[in-house]
């Protein structure tokens, strides 16, 4: 059943359990019917069949080796150790949700700032005037961000503000900005149970890459296709020195 489920693919995951079982059973029945029909036509021998069997045998060996040497060797304990060292040691980060209006000149920025101070709607002014295509249609909304994600001048202005406050216009390499903070919060470090599977998947991938590299280092690999060989040799040699 597990092999059949893997062959059908991820679409099964969204189905109710009863429907999933029915789909799997029908899939296995059709597999057997096709196999019986092939046997009836004596298609279970010959070069074409043997080539496929060789391929599937190699694939089955690969999968069994991967499970025993890679996947099954990365435990929840390993993932927890990684979490404690790399994730759990992180401190909660402060983040803000801000809006901004980007314009080309200081005079335009001052004009819009005065309108906001006297009660104009920030989001509507952003939609009508901002030169930032990524946030203009959302009323200048940039979503939540932490320190280090914005240019220094923008970060400094945003993180000084309290909820609802608007910064005096300031300039960056992109132009003149007016920033308003809508919300401040502390982003907590995710609990282990929420990230356990992602950590395990990353550790399994890393281990698989290392084992593949080790196996390649021990093997003698010959590329029959000259174009592929040329490409591989070029990657091994690295980029050509600059003239």
Q: Decide which of 229 and 4 is more confident.
A: 229
Look at residue 217 and give its three-state secondary structure. Answer: helix
Helices (H), 70-140: 76-82, 106-117, 122-129
What per-residue confidence (pLDDT) applies to 182?
97
Per-residue pLDDT reduced to its tens digit, 52-100: 899 989 999 999 999 999 999 999 999 999 999 888 777 888 999 999 9
Give the torsion sign (CA, 129, 133, 139, 141).
Answer: negative
Predicted local confidence at residue 18, as pLDDT: 83
Q: What is the pTM of this model?
A: 0.55
Q: Which residue in 231, 202, 171 sits closest to 71, CA to CA?
A: 202
Q: Are 195 and 204 in contact (CB under 8 A)?
A: no
Domains of the chain listed by start with CATH number: 2-74 (no CATH), 93-187 (3.10.50.40)
pLDDT at 178: 98
Which pLDDT tens digit goes with each residue over 132-191? 999 999 999 999 999 999 999 999 999 999 999 999 999 999 999 999 999 999 988 888
pLDDT of amino acid 144: 96
Does residue 240 have a pLDDT over 60? no
């Amino acid at each position: 059943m597990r092999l059949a489920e893997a062959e059908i693919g991820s679409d099964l995951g969204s189905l109710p359990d009863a429907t999933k079982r029915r789909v799997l059973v029908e899939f296995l029945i059709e597999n057997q019917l096709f196999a019986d029909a092939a046997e009836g036509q004596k298609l279970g021998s010959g070069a074409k069949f043997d080539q496929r069997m060789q391929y599937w045998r190699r694939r089955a060996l690969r999968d069994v080796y991967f499970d025993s040497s890679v996947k099954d060797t990365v435990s929840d304990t390993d993932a927890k150790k990684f979490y404690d060292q790399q994730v759990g040691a992180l401190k909660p980060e402060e983040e803000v949700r801000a809006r901004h209006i980007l314009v080309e000149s200081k005079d335009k920025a001052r004009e819009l700032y005065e309108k906001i101070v006297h009660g104009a709607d920030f989001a509507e002014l952003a939609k009508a005037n901002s030169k930032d295509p990524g946030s203009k249609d959302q009323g200048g909304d940039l979503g939540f961000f932490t320190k280090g994600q914005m240019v220094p001048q923008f970060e400094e202005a945003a993180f000084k503000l309290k909820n609802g406050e608007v910064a005096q216009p300031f300039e960056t390499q992109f132009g003149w900005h007016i920033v308003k903070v809508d919300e401040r919060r502390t982003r907590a470090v995710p609990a282990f149970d929420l990230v356990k599977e992602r950590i395990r998947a990353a550790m399994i991938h890393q281990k698989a890459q290392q084992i593949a590299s080790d196996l390649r280092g021990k093997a003698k690999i010959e590329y029959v296709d000259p174009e592929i060989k040329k490409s591989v040799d070029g990657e091994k040699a690295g980029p050509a020195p600059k003239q």
